[in-house]
């Protein structure tokens, strides 16, 4: 699996744009890719970055992580994905039309920190609607940001087969609830489904 992590040393904006474009295009042939939030953030340094990227036609599995999770970070090091990650990721997936499997390796921050973010169907690329078969959310806190994202994907992914949700051990909401799996499943059962074959797993 190809992994994209970044470490820059004061490059100018133009140099950074060139570096990011060159690096992404050099791995556009891969089938499996892991990318950190920093990798996605560097894409945003380019205006209309989709125009400069080669299509990732072979990419079928993508994992998105925080930078902290690769540096031994824990809950107190804020091992969470900022909400803007999803918007940038979905833009990137417009050049990854055949993606079948997507993993969010860390939970998301809540809207209380980023109240302007609102997931919408306009964000979702074609591959998630027509090709995505499996999606996994690890380290969830099951906050409103995460619930809304799961709801949006469940409603619109047409061939989705498996959804896996792992609740973080640091989630204070569930720390004293022995029946948290049932509670989460009961909530998700009320979400509209784009795929009647989708199976949910909560742990």
Strand partners, 200: 163
Q: Does position 72 have pLDDT exceeding 60, yes or no?
A: no
pTM over the 0.75 mark: yes
* pLDDT average, residue stretch 186-198: 90
Distance from C-alpha of 16 to C-alpha of 20, rounded to nearest angstrom = 6
Dihedral of CA 184/190/194/198: which sign? positive
Taking residue 148's Cβ as centre, other Cβ atoms within 10 Å add up to 18
CATH superfamily of 2-202: Ribonuclease Inhibitor (3.80.10.10)
pLDDT (average), residues 83-106: 88
CB atoms within 10 A of CB 97: 15
Report pLDDT for 179: 77
Residue 65 backbone phi and psi in degrees, to 5? -130, 165
Residue 83's alpha-carbon distances to 12, 16, 80, 119, 123, in angstroms, are 26, 23, 9, 9, 13
What is the domain partition of the chain in residue ranges? 2-202
**What would the pLDDT profile of 31-55 be if each residue is shown by its tens digit?**
999 998 888 887 776 666 777 888 9
Mean pLDDT of the region 173-191: 76
**26 or 78: which carries more pLDDT confidence?**
26
């Amino acid at each position: 699996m190809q992994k994209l992590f970044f470490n820059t040393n004061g490059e100018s904006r133009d140099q950074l744009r060139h570096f990011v474009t060159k690096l992404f295009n050099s791995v556009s042939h891969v089938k499996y890719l892991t990318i950190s939030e920093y990798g996605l953030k560097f894409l945003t340094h380019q205006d209309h970055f989709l125009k400069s990227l080669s299509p990732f036609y072979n990419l079928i599995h993508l994992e998105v992580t925080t930078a902290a999770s690769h540096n031994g970070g824990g809950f107190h090091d804020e091992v969470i994905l900022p909400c803007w990650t999803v918007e940038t990721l979905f833009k990137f997936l417009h050049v990854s039309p055949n993606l079948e499997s997507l993993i969010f390796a860390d939970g998301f921050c809540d809207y209380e920190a980023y109240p302007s973010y609102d997931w919408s169907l306009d964000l979702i690329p074609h591959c998630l609607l027509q090709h995505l078969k499996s999606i996994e959310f690890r380290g969830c806190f099951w906050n409103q940001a995460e619930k809304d994202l799961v709801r949006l994907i469940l409603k619109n992914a047409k061939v989705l087969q498996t959804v896996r949700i792992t609740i973080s051990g640091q989630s204070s909401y569930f720390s004293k609830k022995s029946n948290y799996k049932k509670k989460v499943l009961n909530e998700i059962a009320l979400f509209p489904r784009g795929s009647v074959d989708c199976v949910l797993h909560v742990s």
